[in-house]
């Protein structure tokens, strides 16, 4: 069962951030991605098979996101240098950002200090933001193999 963020809730304004694109090094701000609905995915890192699977699901569903004029961005709690080889071999049509110091992961309430599965990492999580950056959906996994439902995400996007 999904967890709730202890920091943010649906209807809150999403905190702005500036993170490097792990492949290009370009700094991307959340505020620059707004103006359209946004699917924001937090993952543990490109080394994580579950995160790789979910990034593939996002890629597979990009036509559905685009039909809804939505964008996607992924934030990995990992150093960008450790992500580059994987990302160069597995290109995505959405930015994959690096949150090496876990600042944004903490601001969004998806940080895990330590549990049976993780140490100093992000819990897999999805946030849907409307064009103004208001949070309309939050799914934070209870365990690292849990996913949000893409049909549910699309339903939320249909309503924003």
Domain boundaries, the chain: 18-159
8 A C-beta contact, residue 144 and residue 57: no
Question: Which CATH architecture is the domain 18-159 placed in?
Answer: 3-Layer(aba) Sandwich (3.40)
**Number of other residues whose CB lies within 10 A of the CB of residue 156:** 21
- State pLDDT tens for residues 75-88: 998 888 888 889 98
Supply the pLDDT for residue 146: 72
Can you tell me the distance from the alpha carbon of 114 to that of 59, in angstroms, rounded to the nearest whole number? 30
Confidence of residue 48 (pLDDT cuts 50, 70, 90): confident
The tokens for 103 are 């600042």
- State pLDDT tens for residues 103-120: 999 999 886 654 444 445
Top pLDDT among 132 and 83 is at 132
């Amino acid at each position: 069962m999904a967890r709730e963020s202890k920091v943010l809730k649906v209807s809150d304004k999403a905190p702005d951030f500036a993170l490097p694109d792990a492949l290009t090094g370009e700094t991307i701000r959340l505020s620059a991605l707004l103006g359209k609905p946004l699917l924001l995915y937090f993952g543990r890192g490109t080394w994580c098979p579950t995160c790789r699977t979910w990034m593939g699901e996002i890629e597979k569903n990009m036509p559905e996101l685009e039909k809804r004029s939505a964008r996607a961005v992924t934030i990995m709690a990992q150093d960008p240098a450790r992500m580059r080889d994987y990302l160069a071999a597995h290109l995505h049509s959405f930015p994959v950002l690096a949150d090496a110091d876990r600042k944004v992961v903490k601001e969004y309430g998806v940080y895990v200090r330590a549990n049976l599965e993780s140490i100093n990492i992000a819990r897999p999580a999805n946030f849907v933001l409307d064009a103004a950056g208001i949070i309309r959906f939050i799914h934070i996994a209870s365990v690292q193999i849990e996913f949000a439902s893409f049909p549910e995400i699309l339903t939320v996007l249909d309503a924003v």
